[in-house]
Amino acid sequence: MESVIVGGPASTDLALSLSRLLKLPLLSVKYTEFPDGESKVTFSEKVDGSTVILVQSTYPPIDKHLMELFFLAHHMSQEGAKVHAVIPYLAYARQDKQFLPGEVVSLAVLSHLLRSAGVSRITTVDIHSAESLRLFSIPIYSASAIPSLVQYAKKNLSVTKPIIIAPDFGASKRTEAFATLYGGEYARLSKERDRVTGDVKVRQEDLDVKERDVLIVDDIISTGGTVRAAAELLRKAGAHKVFALCTHALLVGDAQERLVSAGVNEIIGTNTVPSKVSKVDVSEVIASHLRTLTE
């Protein structure tokens, strides 16, 4: 039976784009809200027996987007569909272990909830850490947006003597992959985050960025604390232009303004989180993976 695409309210454009790329029909669903903020989902077509590619990112408001995802998945699996959730930005992925005693491993709970809601397979983009995939008992694949970010950078950023910077240890692999494809030198900063206040400090001795343009590459920019600290350090060390590239630009609160005031010339994100800075489209990256499953 033919597959269909369902676009959750967080990812309507991406769902439309996947439906065009994969030449699959887009099922129509109505999303409304009760006066107290509860989400309501109404299907106008039957979905029985099909494989459904359910596209719903989980950027803020995170818990609302998750509830919508659960409602959609549960209804469709009850109707007999096999639900493949495409969750371009997978929330809670950073709490994949206990950092301080007593902390709940949120990603483990989320994994359980997705499965209980009827999701039988997940595709995401640049999950925070590859190791966290082990918390899932259903197949999960994390596609990489790095080649698309590289393509954007090559085409659109005018840079002199570029150096690619990982703002912390966790960003190393991604940033190294970026540097290899981009063809630039690569360096890593050391980051310390206060696990209680969330405050960030970055350090790096022997870093020669004088008169050079810097591309900071990370998976997520949330409060902007990490990239801000990195940009300040790099500017002090004599960097010329500073670009911040990431897959998921959450930019909570006044993150964008604070990054600009720290000397960031341009922020580049992807449409896993739709916003003014989501300049890179990940539809094709997701579509190519989905094709491997159907061919």
Query: Does residue 223 touch ligand R5P according to CB under 6 A?
Result: yes
Distance from C-alpha of 243 to C-alpha of 231, rounded to nearest angstrom? 9
In the block, residue with structure tokens 């197949």: 139
Query: Does residue 60 touch ligand R5P according to CB under 6 A?
Result: no
Q: Which is nearer to ligand R5P, 52 or 245 (CB)?
A: 245
Closest approach of ligand R5P to the CB of residue 198, in Å: 7
Nearest to 187 by CA among 160, 209, 202: 209
* From candidates 224, 230, 233, 267, binder to ligand R5P by CB under 6 A: 224
Q: Which is nearer to ligand R5P, 269 or 274 (CB)?
A: 269
* From candidates 77, 168, 184, 277, binder to ligand R5P by CB under 6 A: 168
Stretch that binds ligand R5P, among 27-35, 48-56, 149-157, 218-226 (CB under 6 A): 218-226
Write down the catalytic residue from 191, 210, 236, 276. Answer: 191
Query: Does residue 123 touch ligand R5P according to CB under 6 A?
Result: no
* From candidates 50, 56, 175, 226, binder to ligand R5P by CB under 6 A: 226
Query: Does residue 68 touch ligand R5P according to CB under 6 A?
Result: no
* From candidates 215, 218, 280, 287, binder to ligand R5P by CB under 6 A: 218
Nearest to 217 by CA among 191, 247, 238: 247
Interface with ligand R5P in residues 172-211 (CB under 6 A): 200
Question: Is 40 in a helix, a strand, or coil?
Answer: strand
Closest approach of ligand R5P to the CB of residue 164, in Å: 15
Q: Per the structure block, which two tokens stand in for 174? A: 């991604």
Question: Is 87 in a helix, a strand, or coil?
Answer: strand
Nearest to 6 by CA among 62, 76, 74: 76
Known catalytic residue at 82: no
Distance from C-alpha of 126 to C-alpha of 118, rounded to nearest angstrom? 23
Phi, psi of 8 (to 5 degrees): -70, 165
Exposed e or buried b for every residue in 55-67, given b needs 16+ CB within 10 A? bbbbbeeeebbbe
Catalytic residues: 191
- Give me the residues that bind ligand R5P (CB under 6 A), please: 94, 167-168, 170-171, 200, 218-226
